Amino acid sequence: MATFFIVFAVFMLVIVASSVGVIMGRKPIKGSCGGVGAALGEKDYLCPVCGDDPNLCEKEQEAEAAKLAAAEQLSYEVTAKK
C-alpha cells in the first residue's frame, strides 16, 4: 500500500510540475506539427494538420495565436490597488 501512495505522489508532482507554465500564465504545452511519425522519419507519413505543407502549419499557428489574442481582449486583470 505504501508503494501505491509513493507512486501516486510522484505522479501528482509530475502533473503539477508540468502545469507550472500554465498556472503562471505562459503558453500551454502543445505538440509539434507532424507528430511522432515525422520525428521518427517514417516514410509515407502525412501530417494530419497540414498535409505536409509547412506554410499551412504556420497559418494554423497564426490562426491559433489570433484566437488567443481575441480571448485576451475579452478578459481583464482584476487586482487590488493600494
CA-based Rg of the chain, rounded to a whole angstrom? Answer: 19
**Is residue 77 in some structural domain?**
no
Asked if pLDDT for residue 61 goes beyond 80, the answer is no
Lowest-confidence range among 5-9, 11-15, 32-36, 68-72?
32-36
Residue 2 lies in a domain: no
Indicate whether 45 belongs to any domain.
yes
Q: How far apart are CA 2 and CA 4, in angstroms?
A: 5
- Judge whether 28 lies within some domain: yes
| 21 domain-assigned | yes
Residues 82, 78: Cα–Cα separation, whole Å: 13
Is residue 56 domain-resident? yes
Q: How many domains does the chain have?
A: 1
pTM: 0.33
Q: How many CA atoms, within 13 angstroms, populate the side-chain half-sphere of residue 23?
A: 6
**31 part of a folded domain:** yes
Percent over 70 (pLDDT), the chain: 59
Query: Does the residue 78 lie in any domain?
Result: no
